[in-house]
Amino acid sequence: MESVTIYHNARCGKSRGALEILQQHNIPFTIRWYLTEPLNKNELKALVKKLQIQTSGLVRKNESLYKEQYAGKEIIEKEWISILAEHPVLIERPIVETADSAIIARPPELLLEFLKLK
């Protein structure tokens, strides 16, 4: 199986669950610690395209930063790229990416079908 990248936050239970699934199924993976190695705008655009979602679908709306600064504001999709590049804590997690697609693994069990594991 091809190697995958997991955009990981070790403090997140769902992210740890996705990592555990990759380990249990011996899937080769690379961890991208996206909070300490933020994605740049081009990486975010490419990821959103692979996820086949609008950029706003990548935003964690339960984060206090979102509630304090962005909730209720009209923000166009292009603006979210800059916001997420500047504030990676707002990026939904975990994300698992292959060469040609990606998934927000919430719940982590979504990886089983995405990676064709059972």
Same domain, 56 and 29: no
Same domain, 58 and 26: no
CB atoms within 10 A of CB 118: 6
Of 2, 9, 11, 12, catalytic: 12
pLDDT in tens, 32-55: 999 999 999 999 999 999 999 999
**CATH number, domain containing residue 9:** 3.40.30.10
Same domain, 117 and 79: no
- % of the chain with per-residue pLDDT over 90: 95
What total of structural domains would you count in the chain? 2
Same domain, 77 and 102: no
pTM, full prediction: 0.92
End-to-end alpha carbon distance in the chain: 14
Domain range for 78: 40-90
Would residue 74 show up in a list of annotated catalytic residues for this protein? Answer: no
The residues that bridge with 104 in the sheet, in sequence order, are: 95
